[in-house]
Structures are given as C-alpha cells and as structure tokens.
Amino acid sequence: GCTSLTSITIPNGVTAIGTGAFYNCTSLTNITLPNSLTTIEDEAFRNCTGLTSITIPDSVTRIGSSAFSGCKGLLRVVLPKSITTIEVASFYQCSSLTTLTIPQGVTTIKSNAFAACTGLTGLCLPDSLTKIENWAFASCSNLTRITVPASVTSMGESIFREGSGLTI
C-alpha cells in the first residue's frame, strides 16, 4: 500500500518476494528483479496499476496466485523459461496486457490465470502445455485467435467464456 513508491530495485541475493509485498503500490512503474530471485509469492504485486512492463528473470521457478492480478496498466510481461505452472489468477484483470509469450516448459495454466485480460488479441500456447484449467482465458473479449497444441489433454470449463470472435 505504499502509494507513493514509483521505482524499486531488488538487490542481488534476494531469493523471494513475499506474499503481498507490494500489494496496492499503485504508483509503482519500474521494478528491477535480480537473477538470484526464485519465487514471487501470492499477491506480491497485486493491484500495482502503474506497472507497465515486467521482465521476470529465468531464475524464477514460481509465480504465485494473483501475483500480478489487477495490474491494469501492465502492457508487457516476459515470463521466465524456468516456470512450469502459471498459477491461479496470476495475471487476472491485466486489461492492458497486449504482449505475452508463454514459454516452452509450461505444462499447466490454472484457473483464471489470464481471465479479463481484454488487451490480448492473439496467443500461441507452447507444445509443452498439457492442462488448461477453468476460466483460464475467460472474458478476454478481444482474443480473436489462439493456437492450442495437440499436447493438451485436459481442458476445464469455460476456458474461453465471453471471448468474442475467437477462432481456435
């Protein structure tokens, strides 16, 4: 809730950003994450509405539930190649998100992971993906094209609910 915080550099040696660490830091626009970082806990950057871009280092193996939920100004996310699961509501309501690459190695996209990301228009899912849970891309109203690989063996309910013009 540090609403005046605009920029932060996490020093090298830090391995985890705790639950809710920067929750509601609405003026935060710039953050630099160290290569020593392995974990971003639940709700770590939730509602950081001023954040426009984030590059998560490849050392990160876990991005928690709702970690970036409500970051409505977030335009671009670079996900690490080291993650295998995109947790529940990790990027829920990141309505400005237009640039997203889900890296090879991701096997599971959990419920509501990218729901209400209305800025997304197209998405290519990696060949490593095997499971997409309920409402993963629900209310992505501008999503018009998505490539679901043959490796997906489990798909939950309403994954693309309220996605207008979608072709799969």
What are the 10-residue block averages of pLDDT along the chain, 168 residues in total?
Answer: 94 98 96 97 98 95 98 94 97 93 96 96 92 96 89 95 69
What tokens does 43 get?
């709700």
pTM: predicted TM-score of the whole model, two decimal places:
0.94
Residue 77: per-residue pLDDT:
92
Entry field: residues in the chain? 168
Residue 99: per-residue pLDDT:
78
Q: Where are the beta strands (DSSP E) in the chain?
A: 7-9, 16-17, 30-32, 39-40, 53-55, 62-63, 76-78, 85-86, 99-101, 108-109, 122-124, 131-132, 145-147, 154-155
Residue 122: per-residue pLDDT:
85
Residue 67: per-residue pLDDT:
98
Task: Report the distance separating Cα 86 and Cα 79, nearest Å.
Answer: 10
Contacts of 137 (CB under 8 A, 6+ apart): 113, 114, 115, 117, 120, 123, 143, 146, 159, 160, 163
Helix, strand, or coil (residue 54): strand
